[in-house]
Amino acid sequence: MCKPPFWCPRLIPYWWIPLIGLLAAGCHHPVVWQPKPPFNTATTANDFDLTWNSNDPSGSPMNPKWAPQVQKPDNLPPVQGSDCAKTQPYQAGCTNQAKFIVKDQGAGVTGFLCTLFGDASSINGHADWTVASAQGAIGWLNYADDWDYNLLLVPNDDNGLTQNNNLLSDGKQRYIEIEFDSRELEGRFGTDWWKEFARLAQAGVTSGDYQQIMDYLHSGPGLACGTVYGVFGIDCEHGCRSEYHPAYAVAIQIDESKDSNRWAIFARNWGDEGFCSHYNHQLDLQSCGGAIRLLLPYNSRNAPISIKIEQAASSPTGQCPRFAFQGTGQPGEIVEIPLPPPGQDGLTELVVNFGWPQDAAPAPCKSVEKENLMRMLATRKAAASGGQAGQEILSEDRFGRLFRGLNQNKGFPETQFSHDVLQPYSSKAATAKQQLAQPKLSEQRSAAIQCQVPSVVTPEALTAPTPPPKKGKPSPLPQAKQKLVWDEAMMSSFCTAYVASGRKLPAGEPADLGAKLDKECKKYLPKK
């Protein structure tokens, strides 16, 4: 990767990026992700050396952990007395995998904002190790200021946590965020289950109360259990805490009973990485037959008695999934979900119901009470309304606070973003940007696919993951061009409202912030 400041300055207009990539001979451009990482499991004990005991059905690390956690699960990095508490986790000395790490930072608008509000000692973006999967308790967290859906994962055995990850209100248990951009998926969900998920998320951001969506993911007092598959790394915009971002696939066990074991699943092989980012993190699945394979854990010595696909949808039109029972190692059902090449922005959704034998039981999973999570969310909300956000160094949150202040302190759900932010910008933009401004498939809901008779095979029939066929150099990781235009639309809307307000800023913001915003807003306001 490029190392600023000489070859790759932190703040560059996004339209310079391809030119710089061609001219800067010393810069290595990240390539499209593969399920298998380009490095082996760590044998050393640096704080941020990533290790794992087994691979998932796609060939990716399953439940990865940091090297210190091999000694004991609660030995989270940076460990006590380590120099890595003072330096960046992605640097050599804290990890021997530094040369493989993909760094994704803001560009254009977010390049400016992430530098303005960020920590000068950090990349103010993401440092990503590998594609991986994990199991644990899954619940709703929030609808972020960058329009990300944010779930949380309380991982089994604390796999992958760091000292920087946030705590629940009990002050004991940390969690990992699972993030995916609502603007990429909100208008495309085609199954009733995922459309209701999106509706409840929108209702929550409007009302400020997420109890309904929390109960929708799982009834009762506790969180659901599930599996997540995505890019695993650390978010140094938010204190260098670990995360799965973007999530390629999420499987939520909405009912764990053996007679009606229901899972809600989505899967794709692309996605952006939120506010301080500019890549489209495409995933090449050639090595596993063009499909994502998820393990849905369940303790059983025998295969399910029944499998019923209650809902299935995809865009573009996709193939039905296949199922295979895994009885050894971590038992459960493998679901194989075919996807088109990542450049086609494919999406598949499923709701699947398994009937298990009488001697089967739900797989062990972290026990997390919703009440614990709700107390934490209430504390955060009170802190934000009390004006404490001005003391943070979190770019997305700082800008979100400013934006909400101009919107009567209300959140911006995706539909409002599309109507009130994108449409006005798009109507005035050049033709090329008008085409990029609208989500490619936002008007095309995922279409139902007929999968009434599940295809059940043996695990051996699922071809073992292999290296992808060599056809020249790997494809470079592309820019998230659509997101860059969305960012411009966001800034245009903010600047228009900011000027109309008389350039009012919330209390507690630094005195020189107004002058910096005035200078930047000149690019996004009509010429006089």
Range of the domain at 62: 31-50+57-521
Confidence of residue 24 (pLDDT cuts 50, 70, 90): very low
Please report the pLDDT score of residue 441 as a whole number: 39
Three-state secondary structure call for residue 526: coil
CB 326 within 8 A of CB 462: no
Report, as an integer, the average pLDDT of 356-380: 92
- The per-residue pLDDT for range 139-174, each reduced to its tens digit, is 999 998 889 999 999 999 999 999 999 999 888 899
Secondary-structure breakdown of the chain: helix, strand, coil percentages, each rounded to the nearest 5: 30, 25, 45
- Identify residue 120 by its one-letter amino acid code: A
- The per-residue pLDDT for range 409-432, each reduced to its tens digit, is 676 777 788 888 888 888 776 665
Please report the pLDDT score of residue 223 as a whole number: 96
- Crossing angle of helices 395-405/481-500, nearest 10°? 40
151 occurs within a structural domain: yes
361 occurs within a structural domain: yes
3 occurs within a structural domain: no
The torsion angles phi and psi of 200, rounded to 5 degrees, stand at -70, -35
Dihedral sign for Cα atoms in the order 488, 494, 498, 504 = negative
- Crossing angle of helices 481-500/513-521, nearest 10°? 120
Higher pLDDT, 266 or 422: 266
Cα–Cα distance measured from residue 50 to residue 249, given in angstroms and rounded to the nearest whole number? 21
- The per-residue pLDDT for range 52-73, each reduced to its tens digit, is 999 999 999 999 999 999 988 8
- Identify residue 449 by its one-letter amino acid code: I
Confidence of residue 384 (pLDDT cuts 50, 70, 90): low
Give whichever of 6-10, 201-205, 433-437 has the largest mean pLDDT.
201-205
Three-state secondary structure call for residue 208: coil
26 occurs within a structural domain: no
22 occurs within a structural domain: no
Confidence of residue 385 (pLDDT cuts 50, 70, 90): low
Confidence of residue 377 (pLDDT cuts 50, 70, 90): confident
Please report the pLDDT score of residue 437 as a whole number: 57
Please report the pLDDT score of residue 243 as a whole number: 97
CB 368 within 8 A of CB 222: yes
142: which strand partners? 150
For residue 309, pLDDT over 80 is answered with yes
The torsion angles phi and psi of 172, rounded to 5 degrees, stand at -120, -45
Q: How far is CA 470 from CA 102, 138, 386, in A?
A: 21, 37, 56
Total domain count, the chain: 1
Please report the pLDDT score of residue 477 as a whole number: 96
420 occurs within a structural domain: yes
Cα–Cα distance measured from residue 223 to residue 360, given in angstroms and rounded to the nearest whole number? 21
Please report the pLDDT score of residue 503 as a whole number: 92
For residue 442, pLDDT over 70 is answered with no
How much is the pTM? Answer: 0.91
Least confident of 227-236, 427-436, 481-490: 427-436
Mean pLDDT of the chain: 87
528 occurs within a structural domain: no
Cα–Cα distance measured from residue 403 to residue 73, given in angstroms and rounded to the nearest whole number? 40
Cα–Cα distance measured from residue 243 to residue 273, given in angstroms and rounded to the nearest whole number? 11
153 occurs within a structural domain: yes
Cα–Cα distance measured from residue 476 to residue 178, given in angstroms and rounded to the nearest whole number? 25
For residue 18, pLDDT over 60 is answered with no
